[in-house]
Structure 1
Amino acid sequence: MTRILLDAMCGGLRGFLRMCGHDAAYALDRDAEADEAALALADAEDRTVVTRDERLAARADDAVLLTEHEPIDQLVELAAAGIDLTLDAEPSRCGRCNGVLERVGRSASAGENRPEYVPDDVDDPWRCRDCGQFFWKGSHWERVERTLVEVRARAENE
């Protein structure tokens, strides 16, 4: 998957890209709001810069310049630019912090270790190794999958 740095104007893409398995760092989460900091981070971590800032895109070694304001329209632009927007078969990246997820069996996620927000009927959730957030494939996963199918279809027709 692609290693991406989303600048401050593209934060609405984080969840979608992470659900597709991309290592999608967000500049504001990494104290890299200034162009120099963003470029240094992208260079140090071999990331593609995704931005709406023409000057930043021109200065980056590898960048995707977006023109749209709305995240869904930006996703169409990313798909047209060749970024794979196919939902992962299983969650692999944390939507909150971009950390790696690990599957947690029912016994390991039961009792005190299982947060109240995880539905009782979820047998095998995933947990972020970095921040501890739990994830599972529920109705949100299905909505995102439908959205991404529509996004890819729009990208093919543009």
Structure 2
Amino acid sequence: MLGKLATYLRMCGYDAAYALDRGVEADSKLLALAESEDRLLVTRDVELAERADGLLLASKPVTDQLRELADAGFALELSEPARCAECNGELVAVGEDASTPEYAPDSAEIRVWRCPDCGQYFWKGSHWESVEATLREL
């Protein structure tokens, strides 16, 4: 239920696991996963938040969820790309002499990162600027 929020957190450098990325939906499995990985469970489910001693968010819109996290003390600023927005893998910088797929910019012209887990490429483009503007408005 918080997939967009996970993407924003990853862009801010947080190691933000998203249960549905792992095919986990059952509350008991979510609780076990959070405990085994020593994670704070962030949810909109009141009962689940209480059972996990997690962080309960009340809002549906992602910008309001981000405000709730900021109010709870989360630093919400873009970092250098470190986490894959898609799968949470740790990004690696693409060398200037390395080729990139057709959809990505030339790494000799702009800094590009790649996720070794899912193969996605990332760079600071218009989406980065949009997220930066959203975070500034919090």
Give secondary structure in 2 for the equivalent of 1:135: strand
* Match of residue 102 from structure 2: 116
Equivalent pair of 1:18/1:98 in contact (CA under 8 Å): yes
Provide the rounded CA distance (Å) in 2 between the counterparts of 1:67 and 1:95.
23
- Mapped partners of 2:18, 2:2: distance in 1: 8
Q: Find the counterpart in structure 1 of residue 125 from structure 2.
A: 138
Residue of structure 2 aligned with 1:49, choices 24, 36, 41: 41
Runs of at least 4 residues off by over 2 Å? 119-124
Gaps of 5+ in 1: 1-8, 152-158
Counting strand residues as a fraction of each chain, which structure ranks higher? 1
Q: Is the 8 A contact 2:91 2:115 kept in 1?
A: yes
Unaligned regions of 5+ residues in structure 2, if any?
none
Whole-angstrom CA distance in 1 between matches of 2:63 and 2:48: 22
Q: With structure 2 as the length reference, what TM-score do the two structures score? A: 0.94
Contact 1:14 1:24 in 2 (8 A): yes
Is the alpha carbon distance of 1:81 and 1:44 closer, same or farther for their aligned partners in structure 2, counting shifts above 3 Å? Answer: same
Aligned length: 137
1:107 and 2:97 correspond? yes
SS of structure 2 residue aligned to 1:48: coil
Q: CA deviation at 1:29?
A: 1.0
1:15–1:95 Cα change, 3 Å: same
1:78 partnered with 2:86: no
Percent identity, please. 61
Aligned mates of 2:50, 2:109 — CA distance in 1: 46
SS of residue matched to 2:41: strand
User: Shift in Å at residue 105 of structure 1?
Assistant: 1.3
Aligned Cα root-mean-square deviation (Å): 1.3
- 2-structure distance, mates of 1:13, 1:69: 10
